[in-house]
Structures are given as C-alpha cells and as structure tokens.
C-alpha cells in the first residue's frame, strides 16, 4: 500500500484503543479513522492521549449503518480495514444471542459489502483484516489449536465470531476481496471493561466485594498482554498474506483460580493489606452454562512467518495492569455507572 487510510472499527473499545494508539503514534504518515458506535463497551476516554493527533479521526457510527460506512470509505479513500467492532462478552451473549448475531455477523457482512463495492475493480493495494478469537475453535482438553483445527464454536459469542470469520473467507473466495483473519487468545491490560475476569476481580478486590469464581475455577485460558496483541495486529497487517489465518497467543496458560489468587497477592501488596485479605473474598458461584474448559493456542505460524512474538512477562503484565486500575479509579467509575451497573446487578444478583 502506498498511502494508507486505515479504517479501524471498534477503536474505542479495549483492544481497539491500543491498536489505534499504536498506529497513530507509529505511523504519522497514515490517516487512522476510528469508527465506533460507542456501546457500553466503547469509551473515548480510552483515547484521550491521542485524540488531537493530526493523523487521527473519530467517526461515531455503527457497522450496521451502510450509508455511514459508504460515506467514510468515500470521504477518506479507505484502503485498509482493521475490523475489531463486536459484542465481545460471552456471558452477555448467553442472555442476548440475537444482538451478537446482529453486530458480529450482520455488521461484519455489511462492512465487507461496503469494502468490496468501494474497492471493486482495484483490489491491488487493499486489505480487509478481521480480528477474531481462539474461542471459534471450541474447547480443547489436550494439545493446542492450530490454524487447521476445525471450527467448533460453543457459545453464542464464539458462534457469531466463527460465522463472521467464514463470511470474510467467503468474500475473499467469491469476490476476490483481499482479506486476513487472526485469532487471538484472552487479552488483559489497561482499558479492559470490568466485566471481564481480570478487571472485574481487581475492581471487586479494591471495593472488598466478593470475587465470583465460576464453577470450581478450573477452566484454563491462555493470557496475552494487550499491547503484545496490538503489535501482532500491526505485524500481520503489514506482513501477512491475503487469504491466510493467523493464530496469536501468549503460550501462557492459567487456571482461573490460580490467576485470581495471584491477583489477590498483587492487590494486597499494592494496597498494603494483610496477606490473605483479598483471597478471603473468593466466592465460588454457579458455573457459566456451557463453560469452555480450556483454550490453548499454537502461535508458531505467526512467529515463524512474521517474526512477531509476545514480549510481556505475565507477572510483569499483571502488575502493570493492577497499577493501572488502581491509578485510574475515575475511569472505572465512569465506565461502571448507569446502564452497565443495572446489567451487572441483574446478572450477578442471582449467582
């Protein structure tokens, strides 16, 4: 690509804000357009430090709104898309699957259609890069997910992401739309909405509220620091090949309960609390329905083909994350007010 006008969708969310920040700072010669509808999970406070950068534009619109998408493609001569906008929380998907189908499947199809139409007849310097999840592979007891592992989604969230992945491949195959998909393991770090495990636990520890561990806490996730994921997205966007899928992971598996105990120790230390104070808040609650036991990624393809690798050690990443949440209590109170709290109370009152 010569001149790059990159549309990043979902840039006001957790991972998207790190990707936007990285691209805006690293590539002053590119124009970065962040399109986000600002659902409960999108917050422009995540991007305060770069919002006045000359190479950055924010557009508040939904990926479901084709007129708005067409307008953005035309106005900014978009030649690259990095698509992160989605509904992203498994528990919410179990309560509201149709919203996930609407945003994650229909929204992705509409974005694909607008890109395909705008780029028709001149696909040469174009790229539609879709950000997906290891959850599309389902749950694995032994071994690792490779790019060849059959798709086997088990939750409404992962079913909607798997479907959107298939549509990206279908547009590549049927219309020649240059595209790539990457599937990453669980991310953690600053700006993650506190409904996900790590920020929820930190927030509850700070406020001395119960720490709800689902089931026996034996489910396993592979954790990756969000800035490592953002760097992987940068690397794949520039070095990846159209038509390919890339797995991204941290080679860093933890049982939920061990991870929560580690967080308890870090928080107690940072808040000068007696050791064991936070751990005493651990409460085993009713398991998530259909809870996937284990996700584990084999990231050898992206490592050998692009040179990317994770660089943040887990203990160091968790410590940085705890520090950030302790220092950003105002951010927390902003994002946890209003609608989110009502939802939170409804979800957790009966557990």
Partner whose binding site includes residue 86, from ligand TYD, ligand NAD, none (CB under 5 to 8 Å by kind): ligand NAD
What DSSP designation does 294 have? Answer: B
Q: Is 186 a residue that touches ligand NAD (CB under 6 A)?
A: yes
Tokens 């409404």 identify what position? 156
Q: Is the dihedral of CA 210, 346, 343, 290 positive or negative?
A: positive
The CA-based dihedral angle spanning residues 146, 312, 130, 288, taken in that order and rounded to the nearest 10 degrees: 70
Q: Is 92 a residue that touches ligand TYD (CB under 6 A)?
A: no
Cβ atoms 322, 270 nearer than 8 A: yes
Partner whose binding site includes residue 221, from ligand TYD, ligand NAD, none (CB under 5 to 8 Å by kind): ligand TYD
Nearer to ligand NAD, 68 or 123 (CB): 68
Which one of 85, 90, 299, 303 is in contact with ligand TYD (CB under 6 A)? 90
Nearest-approach distance from CB 122 to ligand NAD, in angstroms: 26
Q: Is 108 a residue that touches ligand NAD (CB under 6 A)?
A: no
Task: Annotate each residue in 184-223 with x if it binds ligand TYD (CB under 6 A) or - if it does not, as one string.
Answer: --x---------xx--x-----------xxx----x-x--
Which one of 62, 155, 204, 278 is in contact with ligand NAD (CB under 6 A)? 62
How many CB atoms are closer than 10 A to CB 56? 21
CA distances, 82 to each of 173, 197, 340 (Å): 19, 25, 27
Tokens 């120790």 identify what position? 265
Does 135 qualify as catalytic in the annotation?
yes
Nearest-approach distance from CB 15 to ligand NAD, in angstroms: 4
Closest CB to ligand NAD belongs to which residue? Answer: 13
For 232, residues 6+ apart whose C-beta sits below 8 A from its C-beta are: 182, 184, 246, 248, 302, 308
| Active-site option among 87, 135, 292, 298 | 135
How many CB atoms are closer than 10 A to CB 264? 23
CA distances, 205 to each of 100, 102, 229, 277, 345 (Å): 30, 35, 26, 9, 17
Q: Is 155 a residue that touches ligand NAD (CB under 6 A)?
A: no
Binding site for ligand TYD (CB under 6 A): 90, 186, 196-197, 200, 212-214, 219, 221, 256, 288
Q: List residues near ligand NAD by CB under 6 A.
A: 9-10, 12-16, 36-39, 41-42, 62-64, 84-86, 88, 103, 107, 131, 133, 161, 184, 186-187, 193
């Amino acid at each position: 690509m010569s001149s790059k006008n990159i549309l990043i969708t979902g840039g006001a969310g957790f991972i998207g804000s790190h990707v936007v920040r990285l691209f805006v700072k690293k590539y002053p010669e590119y124009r970065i357009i962040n399109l986000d509808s600002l659902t409960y999970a999108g917050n422009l406070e995540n991007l305060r430090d770069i919002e006045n950068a000359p190479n950055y534009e924010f557009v508040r619109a939904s990926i479901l709104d084709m007129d708005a998408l067409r307008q953005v493609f035309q106005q900014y001569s978009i030649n690259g898309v990095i698509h992160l906008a989605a509904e992203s929380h498994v528990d919410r998907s179990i309560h509201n699957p149709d919203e996930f189908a609407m945003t994650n499947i229909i929204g992705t199809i509409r974005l694909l259609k607008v890109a395909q139409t705008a780029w028709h007849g001149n696909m040469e310097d174009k790229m539609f890069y879709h950000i997906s999840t290891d959850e599309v592979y389902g749950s694995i007891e032994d071994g690792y997910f490779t790019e060849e592992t059959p798709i086997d989604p088990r939750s409404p969230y992962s079913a909607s992401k798997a479907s959107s992945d298939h549509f990206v491949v279908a547009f590549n195959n049927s219309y020649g739309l240059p595209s790539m998909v990457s599937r990453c393991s669980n991310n953690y770090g600053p700006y993650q909405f506190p409904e996900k495990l790590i920020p929820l636990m930190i927030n509850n520890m700070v406020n001395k509220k119960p720490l709800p561990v689902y089931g026996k806490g034996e489910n396993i996730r592979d954790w990756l620091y969000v800035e490592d994921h953002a760097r992987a997205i940068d690397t794949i966007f520039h070095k990846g090949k159209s038509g390919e899928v890339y797995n991204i992971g941290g080679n860093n598996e933890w049982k939920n309960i061990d991870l929560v105990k580690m967080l308890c120790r870090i928080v107690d230390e940072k808040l000068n609390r007696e050791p064991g104070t936070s751990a005493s808040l651990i409460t085993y609650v009713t398991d998530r329905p259909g809870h996937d036991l284990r996700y584990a990624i084999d990231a050898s393809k992206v490592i050998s083909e692009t040179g990317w690798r994770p660089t943040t050690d887990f203990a160091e990443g968790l410590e940085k994350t705890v520090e950030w949440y302790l220092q950003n209590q105002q951010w927390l109170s902003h994002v946890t007010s209003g609608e989110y709290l009502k939802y939170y109370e409804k979800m957790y009152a009966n557990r």
